[in-house]
A and B are shown apart, each in its own frame.
Chain A
Amino acid sequence: MALFEARNITKQFGTQYALDNVSISVPEQCIFGLLGPNGAGKTTLIRIINQITGPDSGELFLNGNKLKPEDVMSIGYLPEERGLYKKMKVGEQALYFAQLKGLSKAEAMRRLKYWFKKLDIVDWWGKKVEELSKGMQQKVQFATTVLHEPKLLIFDEPFTGFDPVNTNVIKNEILFLRERGATIIFSTHNMESVEELCDNITLINKAKTLLEGKVSDIRRKWAGEEYDIVFEGDAVMEGNGSYSILHRKIEDNKCRIRLKTMTGTDTNEILSNAVRSGKVLSFNPALPSMNEIFIRVVESRN
């Protein structure tokens, strides 16, 4: 069952559509990727989900019920550009945001201690935000976002500004939060993290939905034109009229060949050619990366 649903959301700014009949459905305990190039309308959709702005038309549901103003309490939002008071001390600030989310001071304090320890930012408690690096600020913001243990978490570009180590820390925290029952929507340009984290995605461009579904389904669907053949030892295959060789790589005493087929090519023909070229270890349709799919989908529509 979908924890969150947005149906036929339309939002106009003047004559320009920010969102044109966009729907998303986010299953419970799933990590949902909201993808799209800059200016596609992702942030507008996120703001509508947070009830910061209202849609011109369309409906929103949380847990099967229409979204109500009180529901912001069960949503945690990490905005793309970090929102912290620069001159305020980290600890005070975190407490302030927690209290605004309805936590008592004592409870907020208890949870903050837990999260600050977990994210390894305890030493920063008494520092002013402006003294922190961007990555540190982001950790603080992350802690304040998840503190009230909302059912639905929305992360807008959570990895920008993080080094690889901290990116990993945050990735693990996101997975951990899902384990604990949270549902996560996150928007990003980082397609690698989509492959690693996301169960489902929706790709929007120019206010419209271009692609949606399970990540694995999408990758399989967009496969089909390219194949990977792995040989034991060395092998040489040449292209012919029905397929061409994209690249050939030898490592660990194995030879990996990626080839692209013309439409209507019989895979058996390729395979029999391969068998003649060497000892075949595997023959698989090559799964395109999310990055490739993203670029192809967006460019084909432009």
Chain B
Amino acid sequence: MNKINIIIKREYMTRVRKKSFIIMTILAPILMAALIIVPTLVMVNQDQDFKKIAVVEDNSDLFKGAIKNTDNMEFVYLDNVKVDDLKNSFEQAGYYGVLYISPELITTPNAIELISKKQPPIAVLQHIENSLEKEIEKQKLMTYNIENLDEIMKNVDTKVSVQTKKIGDAGEVKDTSTGIAMALAYIGGFLMYMLVFMFGSQVMRGVIEEKTSRVVEVIVSSVKPVQLMMGKIVGIALVGLTQFMIWIVLTIAITGVLKATVLKKSDMTEVTQNMTKSLMTPEQQEAAAAQPAQVNPDFAEFSKLFDSAMNQPWGLFILSFIFYFVTGYLLYASIFAAIGSAVDNETETQQFMLPVTIPIILALMVAMGTMQNPESSLSFWCSIIPLTSPIVMMARIPFGVPAWQLAVSMALMVVTFIVFVWMAAKIYRTGILMYGKKTSWKEMWKWLRYSG
């Protein structure tokens, strides 16, 4: 036992002190945060430049005034101008682009062009499309000669934003966000995939290193091969757990900072809200109370997201993650160790790697599908079957998993990893001392059945 500890210590220390480990550990949460923050920033700070767009029609004025101006878009309707004339001169005239609408637009959806020097932002296109779609609908409706159509249109103009609530087992209602659950599922599944694969193949590389450098002959003359294998697997597992723990601590720290700054902001909005309220007449106050979200919609959206992120089952998520990481890693690492012991160098591993990678990749694909449809039977089975369950189950947990399914999946996982470690040890024991022979699956099967 004491010797296993010495081996574990070496495996752990040599890896933890590596520069690549330190960089990964610190950089990964920052990268992760950047991955979330950068797109948000990009969305928020989208091209806010004011754009003036010329609108030209072919000898008609079907869509005159259909596209409303917004804060940063102005649509100037030009009569009696040919597109071809404008094409070369619109920039000098101060236009961002020329929108050319053909009268056939009513029947042909793509009979419209936006000519510009730069790639127009999606927001502009969406605005144009939405406005014209509405206008065309309206014009089509008009052909039915409905009375008071304008008023009716105003009345039926509706906006929908689904607020999701989840009812827990105890009947408590929580605000949730499918977006957050999806993000969590994605992170859980993908991180599991990465960690299991990364640390699993580290085991393999370690075994190959020991085999090719013949270190194993020196060590095996003082410890049993199985001890060496387990020492390596456990040592690297501890490296993985260390990294994961540091990531959690860093994430909590980052979240803490975020929350602090956000709370400050919310206090301030409350203060301003109260101040404005006191200045308002009773009617105005009532009106304001009726639409509280409109006071600061951006912030409301953000705080809702934050709340629903906090409402995720974090404890369950993290504990299951650790469980599935340890068992899934042990399972795959033992396979990787057996493969490493059977080959003479890393290039030879390929023929064995393929069958091992297939379940992992499959699991990752199912996990991505799970985000769309957490209740599918494919997701269910893949989250029960041990080779795929660590990744798929992590993708399911944010959407809620019945306790019995989790229990069955975990129990199967434990049984399977014990069987795999046992088999791997048998292959390893023989393979690690075999040189110069191309190993086949058949050969490995024979080693597995060696007694003694």
Contacts and interface: CB of A to CB of B under 8 A. Distances in A.
Q: Is the interface of B mostly helix, strand, loop or mixed?
A: helix
A170 interface: no
Contacts of B215: 83-85
Interface in B175-211: 209-210
A100 B221 CA distance: 10
Nearest to B222: A100
A52 B223 contact: no
Given A47-B433, A53-B433, A100-B6, A85 B222 contact: no
B206 to A, nearest CB: 10
Nearest to A105: B6
B239 to A, nearest CB: 15
A141 B221 CA distance: 14
Given A84-B213, A100-B6, A79 B218 contact: yes
A14 to B, nearest CB: 10
A39 to B, nearest CB: 11
Contacts of B213: 82-86
Interface residues of A, number: 27
A73 B217 CA distance: 14
A97 B217 contact: no
A277 B358 CA distance: 88
A86 B223 CA distance: 20
A54 interface: yes
Contact of A97 (B210, B216, B218, B452): B218
B220 interface: yes
A100 B220 contact: no
Interface string B416-452: 0000000000000000010000000000000000001
Contacts of A52: 217, 220-221, 433
B14 interface: yes
A53 B430 CA distance: 9
A75 B218 contact: no
Interface in B1-23: 3, 6-7, 10, 14
A261 B433 CA distance: 50
A7 B328 CA distance: 47
B265 interface: no
B138 interface: no
Contact of B216 (A75, A82, A83, A96): A83
A77 B218 contact: yes
A100 to B, nearest CB: 5
Given A47-B433, A52-B433, A73 B222 contact: yes
Given A82-B214, A100-B3, A72 B222 contact: yes
A160 interface: no
Interface string A70-91: 0011010101011111111000
A189 interface: no
B250 to A, nearest CB: 28
Given A85-B209, A88-B14, A96-B10, A77 B217 contact: yes
Contacts of A100: 3, 6-7, 219, 222-223
Given A83-B217, A85-B209, 16 more contacts: A47-B433, A50-B220, A52-B433, A53-B433, A54-B452, A77-B218, A79-B217, A81-B214, A82-B213, A84-B213, A84-B215, A86-B213, A96-B10, A97-B219, A101-B222, A141-B218
Those 10 A-B pairs whose CB atoms lie nearest each other, nearest first: A83-B214, A83-B215, A83-B218, A79-B217, A81-B214, A50-B221, A77-B221, A100-B222, A99-B6, A52-B220
22 contacts: A47-B217, A50-B221, A51-B221, A52-B217, A52-B220, A54-B452, A75-B221, A77-B221, A81-B214, A83-B210, A83-B213, A83-B216, A83-B218, A85-B213, A86-B213, A96-B6, A96-B10, A97-B222, A99-B6, A100-B7, A100-B219, A100-B222
Interface of B: 3, 6-7, 10, 14, 209-210, 213-223, 433, 452
